[in-house]
Chains A and B, each alone.
Chain A
Amino acid sequence: MPTDPPGPGPLVGAHTVAFPGGYTRSTGPVIGRFLTELRDGRLVGVRAASGRVLFPPTEYDPRDGSPVTGDFPEVGPAGTVQARCWVADPRPAHPFDRPFAWATVLLDGADTALLHALDMGEGAGTDPPRSLRAGLRVRPRLRPEAERTGAITDIACLRPEVTGVRDTGRLDYTVRADAALTRYLEAQTEGRILGSRARSGAVYVPPRDVDPADGTPVTGDVELPPTGTLTTFSVNHVPDPRAPQVPFVTGYVRLDGADVDLLALVSGVDPGRVRPGMRVRAEWLPPGERSRARPSIRWFVPEEGAEEQAGEAEGR
């Protein structure tokens, strides 16, 4: 009923058109058969005189208006997306209150498509998912049997076929450092880098107990300078616990006096400017943050950049 707000201004009011209790529409023999089968959990089409299978069924072939046959073959349940659109901001009437798609889907065995909501998952955002495209294989998700009434909404939605499973497993280890690794990490807490010299004269870093080239025990540890040359590198775009900011650079550093490379993070330089042959210098964690449980070298920086904070490092 219109209401009249006090004072001047436009006169507005709510207005509703509805049949009390709803409007009952007869289904006829074809759509009625389809909805009855759907309520029972089956997806049937109807065969047209031409042999085509119409799904959802109609009483006539929309192509030529000819009456359909009495054959109701089962179709699907899988189908293929044809047309689709992305609904980033659903309205109240929409079947979802989060982003989803509308799509036309040709169920297997059918010659006409079904339009329905396509649920691309809870994680979908305002941009359409990349996998939403023509050819996407989907299946209907039916409402539970007790909730089905014989309506197209007995199909709650369509959703993509399963193409992967997510493995969320993790394994936790307690790693025990051997003697060589323990010496290496303990020396780093004092700002020293240890390597070991093999009988052949080769210097390995981190230190080892055995020369990997010939299997002989090494002769002992040597101390190496915190400077070296970057021999190769890669730019990483997937965050790592040790380098949460992407992109970050990992590289092989040949410390001066060493014969093998040390794998390390490289920082203090734009990733696009990193080059093999670049001179680098270790940047240490502040003494208070060092622990023998992990390397105390934070990363390597270009040698010039490192010199700017050399005083800081020497202040340890």
Chain B
Amino acid sequence: MSAANPAHVAVVAYAADVHPGGTAAAEPALVHRAVTAVLGQAGIDRSDIGFTCSGSFDYLAGAPFSFVGALDSLGAWPPISESHVEMDAAWALYEAWLHLLGAEEGSGIALAYGFGKPTQGSLPDILARTLDPYYLAPLGVDADDLAALQARAAVDAGVCTEEAAGAAGAPPADGAAAVLLATEPAASRIARARGVRPAWITGLEHRIDMHSPACRDLARCASAEQAAAAAGVDKGPVHVAELHARHLHEEALLRAALGLGPETEVNPSGGPLAADPVMATGLVRIGEAARRVADGTADRAAAHAAQGPCLQHNLVAVLEAAPEGGPR
């Protein structure tokens, strides 16, 4: 689906429940709050949701199938149409978006949510488990070490300053976020009832780089460039951009990859450096960008989510108030 196609899917509600200091609340409770909030905003019922997709990472809790446990908060009986990605929930939104694009006429409300409790373990060690088990993980190198490698590469290439490269990264937070997607006529109906504008998704793409940071030019983010180009970020002005940057040097690399100039307000929400509810942080970027389009303070916004060592995998969304061609 390229940006040239008319948009059919909009973000119509977004909520997050984030606890920077951690919380004793269990994952289902966090999800319950976020999901209940978006349903309340939209004035709809759980039974109105045609498709549900979640993003999470079982290693955060160290418990297998913790993503299944979170379903308890949804009310999944009688059985619902549901899926899960072991990724940031921005990719769950991607699957929900695909589902709506391919769905029959009139079935169009989907829920994407993500959650995590990273404060219970050591996030650098946990993320190290996602590294190549033959050549990287046995070295004991962790996500923070790799981010430091990329920071140095970014400084050497003149992409960011020493000060930015040396700044502390985002501390992980416990939390959950939920986004409701809708096609017409539900999208306009829900937005009208809320007194906001639908945030139409006019571009949504993701691309991935080679896994090993040793194989890449760390001073640029090629897959983010490709995702941004495919999503059509440069097809119009970008008023607001929410970037999934856990370090300042990542923000500099992503600004370059998305081609954002000084006219673009980057991470007005505070970004991941203010709150990093791991596995929901990317979805929060989309939710926050959509919120600005919905409330009329931006007409066109970009949102970005990342996964993997040194920004390996990048997703870029473009959200617009009134896309060219308009919704069906």
> Which A residues lie at the B interface, using CB under 8 A?
165, 167, 169, 171-182, 208-216
Across the interface, do B26 and A178 meet the contact criterion of CB distance under 8 Å?
yes
- Given A165-B133, A181-B26: A212 in contact with B121 (beta carbons within 8 A): no
- Given A212-B71, A214-B77: A172 in contact with B121 (beta carbons within 8 A): yes
Query: Which chain A residues border B125 with CB–CB below 8 Å?
Result: 169, 171
Expressed in whole angstroms, the minimum distance between the Cβ of B216 and any Cβ of chain A is 24
Expressed in whole angstroms, the minimum distance between the Cβ of B152 and any Cβ of chain A is 26
Residue from B72, B133, B138 with most neighbouring chain A CB atoms (10 Å): B72
Across the interface, do A165 and B134 meet the contact criterion of CB distance under 8 Å?
yes
- Given A171-B62, A171-B129: A177 in contact with B24 (beta carbons within 8 A): yes
5 shortest A-B CB distances, which residue pairs?
A: A215-B75, A212-B72, A213-B77, A176-B24, A214-B75
Across the interface, do B29 and A209 meet the contact criterion of CB distance under 8 Å?
yes
Which of A176, A179, A210 sits near B73, CB closer than 8 Å?
A210
Expressed in whole angstroms, the minimum distance between the Cβ of B44 and any Cβ of chain A is 13
Across the interface, do A165 and B32 meet the contact criterion of CB distance under 8 Å?
no
Task: Please report the C-alpha to C-alpha distance between residue A167 and residue B131 in the assembled complex, in whole angstroms.
Answer: 12
Across the interface, do A174 and B120 meet the contact criterion of CB distance under 8 Å?
yes
CB contacts between A and B, total, < 8 Å: 72
Query: Which chain A residues border B73 with CB–CB below 8 Å?
Result: 210, 212, 215
- Judged by a CB distance under 8 angstroms, whether B122 is at the interface is yes
Across the interface, do B32 and A212 meet the contact criterion of CB distance under 8 Å?
no
Query: Which chain A residues border B153 with CB–CB below 8 Å?
Result: none
Task: Please report the C-alpha to C-alpha distance between residue A169 and residue B24 in the assembled complex, in whole angstroms.
Answer: 26
Query: Which chain B residues border A179 with CB–CB below 8 Å?
Result: 24-25
Task: Please report the C-alpha to C-alpha distance between residue A210 and residue B77 in the assembled complex, in whole angstroms.
Answer: 13
Across the interface, do A215 and B32 meet the contact criterion of CB distance under 8 Å?
yes
- Judged by a CB distance under 8 angstroms, whether B28 is at the interface is yes
Other 15 A-B pairs with CB < 8 A, given A165-B138, A178-B26: A165-B133, A167-B133, A169-B129, A172-B121, A172-B122, A173-B121, A174-B121, A175-B120, A178-B25, A178-B29, A179-B24, A212-B72, A212-B73, A212-B75, A212-B76
Which of A169, A176, A178 sits near B120, CB closer than 8 Å?
A176
Expressed in whole angstroms, the minimum distance between the Cβ of B26 and any Cβ of chain A is 4
Identity of the chain A residue whose Cβ is nearest the Cβ of B23 in the assembled complex: A176
Which of A171, A180, A211, A213 sits near B126, CB closer than 8 Å?
A171
Query: Which chain A residues border B26 with CB–CB below 8 Å?
Result: 178, 180-181
Task: Please report the C-alpha to C-alpha distance between residue A208 and residue B129 in the assembled complex, in whole angstroms.
Answer: 31
Across the interface, do B77 and A212 meet the contact criterion of CB distance under 8 Å?
yes
Across the interface, do B28 and A210 meet the contact criterion of CB distance under 8 Å?
yes
- Judged by a CB distance under 8 angstroms, whether B22 is at the interface is yes
Across the interface, do B61 and A173 meet the contact criterion of CB distance under 8 Å?
yes
Residue from B28, B61, B74 with most neighbouring chain A CB atoms (10 Å): B28
Identity of the chain A residue whose Cβ is nearest the Cβ of B28 in the assembled complex: A210
Across the interface, do A210 and B71 meet the contact criterion of CB distance under 8 Å?
no
Across the interface, do A173 and B62 meet the contact criterion of CB distance under 8 Å?
yes
Query: Which chain B residues border A213 with CB–CB below 8 Å?
Result: 75-77
Across the interface, do B29 and A173 meet the contact criterion of CB distance under 8 Å?
no
Query: Which chain B residues border A182 with CB–CB below 8 Å?
Result: 24
- Given A209-B29, A210-B29: A169 in contact with B137 (beta carbons within 8 A): yes
Expressed in whole angstroms, the minimum distance between the Cβ of A222 and any Cβ of chain B is 18
Query: Which chain A residues border B71 with CB–CB below 8 Å?
Result: 212
Chain B positions 8 through 27: 1 when the CB is less than 8 Å from some CB of chain A, otherwise 0: 00000000000000111110
Task: Please report the C-alpha to C-alpha distance between residue A145 and residue B59 in the assembled complex, in whole angstroms.
Answer: 45
Which of B46, B59, B61, B120 sits near A215, CB closer than 8 Å?
B46
Chain B residues 56-70 with CB under 8 Å of chain A are 59, 61-62
Query: Which chain A residues border B138 with CB–CB below 8 Å?
Result: 165
Which of A173, A178, A209, A215 sits near B24, CB closer than 8 Å?
A178
Identity of the chain A residue whose Cβ is nearest the Cβ of B137 in the assembled complex: A169
Identity of the chain B residue whose Cβ is nearest the Cβ of A166 in the assembled complex: B138
Identity of the chain B residue whose Cβ is nearest the Cβ of A179 in the assembled complex: B24
Identity of the chain B residue whose Cβ is nearest the Cβ of A167 in the assembled complex: B133
Task: Please report the C-alpha to C-alpha distance between residue A176 and residue B25 in the assembled complex, in whole angstroms.
Answer: 8
Across the interface, do B59 and A171 meet the contact criterion of CB distance under 8 Å?
yes
Query: Which chain B residues border A209 with CB–CB below 8 Å?
Result: 28-29, 32
Task: Please report the C-alpha to C-alpha distance between residue A215 and residue B111 in the assembled complex, in whole angstroms.
Answer: 15
Residue from B24, B32, B74, B128 with most neighbouring chain A CB atoms (10 Å): B24
Query: Which chain B residues border A177 with CB–CB below 8 Å?
Result: 24
Query: Which chain A residues border B74 with CB–CB below 8 Å?
Result: 215
Query: Which chain B residues border A215 with CB–CB below 8 Å?
Result: 32, 35-36, 46, 73-75
Expressed in whole angstroms, the minimum distance between the Cβ of B144 and any Cβ of chain A is 15
- Given A165-B134, A178-B24, A210-B28: A171 in contact with B122 (beta carbons within 8 A): yes
Task: Please report the C-alpha to C-alpha distance between residue A208 and residue B32 in the assembled complex, in whole angstroms.
Answer: 12
Task: Please report the C-alpha to C-alpha distance between residue A182 and residue B35 in the assembled complex, in whole angstroms.
Answer: 24
Query: Which chain A residues border B72 with CB–CB below 8 Å?
Result: 208, 210, 212
Task: Please report the C-alpha to C-alpha distance between residue A174 and residue B128 in the assembled complex, in whole angstroms.
Answer: 18
Identity of the chain B residue whose Cβ is nearest the Cβ of A204 in the assembled complex: B72
